[in-house]
Structure 1
Amino acid sequence: MKYNILNIRILFLLLLCSRFISYGQQIFIEAENFDDRGGWVVDQQSIDIIGSSYLMAHGLGVPVQDATTTVQIPQNGNYRVWVRTRNWAAPWAPAADPPGKFMLLFDGKPLPTLFGTEGADWHWQDGGAVSLGKGELRLSLHDMTGFNGRCDAILLTTDHRLSPPNDNRNLASFRRRALDQKKTHFAGKYELVVVGGGIAGITTAITAARMGVKVALIQNRPVLGGNNSSEIRVGLSGLIFKPPYANLGKVVDEIGPIGHWTLYEANQDPEAERSRRIFEIIEKHPEKRQHNAGPKSNYEDEKKIEAVKREKNIELFLNMHVFDLQKRGDRITAVIGKDIISGKESIFEGELFADCTGDANLGFLAGADFRMGRESKAETGERSAPEKGDKLVMGTSVQWYSGELSEPSSFPLTPWAIQFTEKTCQKITRGDWDWETGLRSDQIMEIERIRDHALRAVFGNWSYLKNFSQEKERFSHRKLLWVAYIGGKRESRRLLGDLILTEQDILNSIPYEDATFTTTWPIDLHYPKAIEGLENEEPFISVAVSQNITPYAVPFRTLYSRNIENLFMAGRNISVTHAALGSVRVMRTGGMMGEVVGMAAALAVKHKTTPRNIYRYHLKELKVLMERGVPGRE
């Protein structure tokens, strides 16, 4: 294609001034990169499956504010409009009025097509043709329902024969060309690259940084904390400061919000100075007793970010999703991340890496050995194991709560949601951890469907309570105030280390020479709960089956990969069986894992060695560090 001097100048200006690239007669706009997202939110949970994050209108049944952006139309023409979207409820209710309807407005005028109304899968919906003049065009996404309409991208083209690709491989190439993503930015070289910014990732990064290690902390959301962030709102559980290393937990205590389990711990030693501080905070802020699904302030997102930013040896990268890596033999040499807003790619070189993603995304990309689901009783000898191994996992919670208003409030009918009756509805005002879905599904590949089914349960139940229940007067003044849209996962991939911790290790207090952090939570396993009358629906409520334990120190060999020689892990993806995960998966325990990994990483940098060799040759030195605990901030 040939360009005259004027077209080249226009193209150059667009590259400088806009967040998308238009070339020739095509303009490609990523929805998540709109100038003003209004009330729409960015969802990246399925980025590895659909190739991009997207915008979602999560309004709890009330249409959200328009998302808007401006684009430059390079020349007059008749443009075909394509919008990448889907009818998210179609897998369950194809004939129902689609819940995620939205309009696309051009300079305030809506196109005739309603988007999000057809197709259960992500696809390019044809928006017809429109005549556009050269110059600035204002685009708006106009939500019509408040029920999670979603938009990935918009394509304007004068080539009416063009049908943009839907398959992931061709779409990825098409997207890269359209956005002119030919170059990968070099972010830097680090001694430790931590992927995942949950509690375990934060404590790994801070611990290593305080011991002199140059760290990159990469998180694919705008906040830190993972399940303990305000996006998901799970309280921190498990006890810290326990033998044999009673100083493990210092960073957890420093960054962790005061709440239910810190109060529980304080009650065990009420005379301690730390306990008195906790009692004072709880007395002034009684709402902090709310463990799960509490007010946003309970989870203190800003506190976590500031704690990381204060560390001179950490560079923090928010909204950065690691999707690829480079290896040399069995060593990772670099990871490649994609900004979930702009799509720009960056490369992070490192000597050591820590997978704190929960889903073991980094280990999976590296080819690390892993497991998913339950092992058989014959394989592990565990009392909780099934006779035959299967894919059952603990699920994803989508929590919610309502509030009392001075005036009555209404809620729409939801024909696309689960259809409840007086017998099957849950007559409650908030949904806690047990609103849990996807226990029989792939928590990585099917996370969008798992989350969406949970939304069908929440919205369908609330609609019945508000509109049809015999007790609807009780709910007449209540309004849904918050429903999570980022799922709170418990289990997916577990990376395999030189030792795989089992249920009987914990129950029988089997001692290991490389004992490190102490797990105190029961062996707490979740199972789907069937509801009579809803047999045709996937379960959305779970039950917990627990075995109490004596506090148990977990071996260091569970914290590094057995076949990727420079890979640590911390969090729910460490080397344990499904049953043993029931104890170690809670976040304060995960935070102590991070402290141990940060110390081991510092030793590995110091001795220019691998995680395995810390166990082989430097275990005594690691024990000294664990006895002292993490140094305080300078």
Structure 2
Amino acid sequence: MKRIIITCCLLLGVTLISFAQKRVLVEAESFKDIGGWVIDQQSFDVLYSSYLMAHGMGKPVEDARTTVDFSEGGKYHVWVRTKDWAPFPTGPGEFQLSINEKPLEDSFGVSGSADWDWYYGGQVDMKKGENTLVAEDLTGFNGRFDAIYFSTEEGDVPTNDNEALLAFRKEMLNLTENAKDVGQFDLVVVGGGMAGTCAAISGARMGLKVALIQNRPVLGGNNSSEIRVHLMGRVDQNHNAKLGRIVRELDNGDPGNGNPDADRYGDERKLQIVRAEPNISLHLNTHVYEVEMDGNTIKAVIGRDIATNQEYRFEGVYFSDCTGDGTLGYLAGAEYRMGRESRAETGESLAPEEPDDFTLGTSNLWASLEREEPSDFPETPWAIQFSEEYHIDDHKADWQWETGFGNFNTIYEAEEIRDHNLRAIFGNWSYLKNEMPEKYSHHELAWVAYIGGKRESRRLMGDHVLTQMDIQDGVMYPDGSVTATWTIDLHFPDAENSKYFEGEEFFAGTKHIKVQPYTIPYRCLYSRNIDNLYMAGRDISTTHVAFGSTRVMRTCGMMGEAVGYAAYVARKNNASPREVYTLHLNEFMDIIESPLSIHNLPTLPQD
């Protein structure tokens, strides 16, 4: 298994000067003032870097600014790592870079190539000491850049191989040999969506020392203000009636999908609840990308700050993969599946005849608001083109705005999926504004998500793999824990959308298959081959068909609660997650049937 090992400590916030070669690398995400640009880390597992993006919904955003010290002044060649994200034939992501208040001769982001590459900006005079860099967005349509590189040698262009570029970044950023040790924990939870947040709170309230690591500035995942999906599934029909209490605490009501009011999704509420827990060490903006293993046991994880590039090391007894993508499990070598199993393999009537790579897609929701004054919106020749024959006549999005369906890999092509969604959103909105002014002249885009709301990717395999028959037959296993209530809800491309955009669909349909409340076995919540790995959320051990029911966020939150309680039982008895089932199941079931009051916390035995 390939392991990627990088450690870092960033000098001066953004740069290191290599004195002998007179080279300087500036990481875009480490600009001291990003202005109206946003930090995008969604493709970190492909690029091994975050980047800056100008997400202005058609209006240029405020400049990003930083300073960089040069040990020696003189003439330097400059390259900018960027791309043209919608080259049809050229896209809208144009931006300008200025050095010491002097713009470079050429702008960037309109090369006609969708590949990340180093683009030459000419030769510039740099002062000894502090120099200023300014990135000016010219369009508001998602221009982006990864890094800026200076060299006194004209042909000294960095590599474009993402893995080789890791070593280059390490050299140029003066990355140290060791990440900063955060400490040792009973439970390290990676992923701060509903599942991970509930797991952290549950474990902490049972007395565990917990680290909660989230790679965005907010908690909640798909239920955060960055993505804005409402919570589904029920917590009031539980076979184990006490599960769901923490989900209810975090639930900020039902604002629907894509509500333009960010406050309705309760970001601050979630943060306050977590920060009130003395046993939780919260680490936002930290992307876990490396594990340290001891045989089949995870010893520690390494996370990188998505802005500063500082790295942190978290050592733990137990780990929980709540990333959705199964990232931690994948890095550790956990067995996983991705795509659909065949009907012959699973015996499920809803499975396809042949296995394939089909997965449910990713949504980027959006909303408009009616204003007192009319507004315009530019033509978008680079976007998906709509017509009187086919357009989507609505002032906001719901779940149907979805791209994936096996046409894109939801992990390794996450950037392409998001960009395809943006081309659909902006193209349709341009059509509505310019061709239907009688209805939309006073409407203005109020919000468009740039963080993709994923549904399906890897599923980590446990000692039990939940199936369609388990759900529809209501099988009650002795370790039945979380009660699920959502339908078997498997999305597919909308037929009308496929007619006009075959192979590039961005609008979904579904057929809800009703189920009675059923329980998910505890054995679906830990890895079958990694000895100390739990999982909660959409990456638990199910078939593709069963996943269609288990994936909604209230259900995922209850999985997190159950994992926190199970980790307590394991820690108390010095047991593995599997041994909680084989040796301590009654103790675990007693807790989830009637968990202890948060005002009467148990005391773990001291090592």
- TM-score scaled by length of structure 2: 0.95
3-state SS of paired residue (1:622): helix
Structure 1 gap ranges (5+): 1-13, 260-287
* Residue 357 (structure 1) shift: 0.2
C-alpha distance after superposition, 1:446-488 (max 9, x if no partner):
1000110000000000011111x2x322111101110000000
Q: Which residue of 1 aligns with 2:41?
A: 44
The answer to whether the aligner puts 1:60 opposite 2:57 as a matched pair is: yes
Q: Which residue of 2 aligns with 1:263?
A: none
The answer to whether the aligner puts 1:171 opposite 2:137 as a matched pair is: no
AA matched with 2:530: I
1:330 and 1:15 map into 2 onto residues whose CA distance is 32
Q: Which residue of 1 aligns with 2:455?
A: 490
C-alpha distance after superposition, 1:136-191 (max 9, x if no partner):
21111100110100011111121222111110122100001111112311111111
Q: Which residue of 1 aligns with 2:252?
A: 257
3-state SS of paired residue (1:430): coil
Q: Which residue of 2 aligns with 1:273?
A: none
AA matched with 1:157: S
Q: Which residue of 2 aligns with 1:373?
A: 339
2:28 and 2:453 map into 1 onto residues whose CA distance is 25
2:238 and 2:28 map into 1 onto residues whose CA distance is 51
Q: Is the alpha carbon distance of 1:633 and 1:398 closer, same or farther for their aligned partners in structure 2, counting shifts above 3 Å?
A: farther
Q: Which residue of 2 aligns with 1:361?
A: 327
Q: Is the alpha carbon distance of 1:630 and 1:223 closer, same or farther for their aligned partners in structure 2, counting shifts above 3 Å?
A: farther
Contact 2:537 2:559 in 1 (8 A): yes
* Residue 305 (structure 1) shift: 1.1
Aligned pairs (5 A) from 1:514-593: 514-530=479-495, 531=497, 534-535=500-501, 538-593=504-559
The match for 2:122 among 120, 123, 128 is 128
The match for 2:203 among 204, 208, 232 is 208
3-state SS of paired residue (1:378): helix
Q: Which residue of 1 aligns with 2:391?
A: 425
Q: Which residue of 2 aligns with 1:9?
A: none
3-state SS of paired residue (2:79): strand
Contact 2:196 2:212 in 1 (8 A): yes
AA matched with 1:477: H
AA matched with 2:151: T
The match for 1:114 among 102, 107, 112 is 107
1:86 and 1:507 map into 2 onto residues whose CA distance is 48
C-alpha distance after superposition, 1:180-239 (max 9, x if no partner):
112311111111110000000001001101111111111111111000000000011111
C-alpha distance after superposition, 1:582-625 (max 9, x if no partner):
11100000110011100000011100110000000111001110
Q: Which residue of 1 aligns with 2:433?
A: 466
2:73 and 2:34 map into 1 onto residues whose CA distance is 27
Contact 2:10 2:174 in 1 (8 A): no
AA matched with 1:248: L
Contact 1:410 1:466 in 2 (8 A): yes
Q: Which residue of 2 aligns with 1:477?
A: 442
AA matched with 1:198: G
* Residue 134 (structure 1) shift: 1.9
Contact 1:424 1:533 in 2 (8 A): no
* Residue 258 (structure 1) shift: 1.5
Contact 2:117 2:160 in 1 (8 A): yes
Q: Is the alpha carbon distance of 1:533 and 1:353 closer, same or farther for their aligned partners in structure 2, counting shifts above 3 Å?
A: closer
Q: Which residue of 2 aligns with 1:392?
A: 358
The match for 1:74 among 64, 71, 74 is 71
Contact 1:242 1:248 in 2 (8 A): no
* CA RMSD of superposed structures (Å): 1.4
2:442 and 2:503 map into 1 onto residues whose CA distance is 29
2:13 and 2:210 map into 1 onto residues whose CA distance is 32
112-121 or 566-575: which moved more? 112-121
1:535 and 1:104 map into 2 onto residues whose CA distance is 36
3-state SS of paired residue (2:45): helix
For this pair of structures, how many residues does the alignment match? Answer: 586
Aligned pairs (5 A) from 1:140-539: 140-183=134-177, 184-259=179-254, 288=255, 290-440=256-406, 441-467=408-434, 469=435, 471-530=436-495, 531=497, 534-535=500-501, 538-539=504-505
3-state SS of paired residue (1:431): coil
Q: Which residue of 1 aligns with 2:605?
A: none
* Residue 322 (structure 1) shift: 0.7
2:323 and 2:498 map into 1 onto residues whose CA distance is 36
Q: Which residue of 2 aligns with 1:268?
A: none
1:549 and 1:218 map into 2 onto residues whose CA distance is 34
C-alpha distance after superposition, 1:36-69 (max 9, x if no partner):
1100001000001011010000000001100001
Aligned pairs (5 A) from 1:4-23: 17-23=12-18
* Residue 537 (structure 1) shift: 5.9
Q: Which residue of 1 aligns with 2:6?
A: none
* Residue 243 (structure 1) shift: 3.1
Q: Which residue of 2 aligns with 1:3?
A: none
Q: Which residue of 1 aligns with 2:604?
A: none
AA matched with 1:466: K
The match for 2:565 among 599, 604, 612 is 599
* Residue 117 (structure 1) shift: 1.7
1:371 and 1:532 map into 2 onto residues whose CA distance is 27
Structure 2 gap ranges (5+): 1-8, 601-607
C-alpha distance after superposition, 1:336-395 (max 9, x if no partner):
111111112111111100000000000000110000111111111112111111111111
2:478 and 2:11 map into 1 onto residues whose CA distance is 59
After the TM superposition, list the runs of 4 or more consecutive aligned residues in structure 1 that deviate by more than 4 angstroms: 14-18
Contact 1:517 1:589 in 2 (8 A): yes
Q: Which residue of 1 aligns with 2:5?
A: none
Contact 1:250 1:629 in 2 (8 A): no
AA matched with 1:419: Q
1:354 and 1:120 map into 2 onto residues whose CA distance is 36
1:620 and 1:457 map into 2 onto residues whose CA distance is 52
* Residue 113 (structure 1) shift: 1.2
1:533 and 1:152 map into 2 onto residues whose CA distance is 37
Contact 1:207 1:630 in 2 (8 A): no
1:18 and 1:632 map into 2 onto residues whose CA distance is 41
* Residue 20 (structure 1) shift: 2.1
AA matched with 1:524: D
1:328 and 1:42 map into 2 onto residues whose CA distance is 34
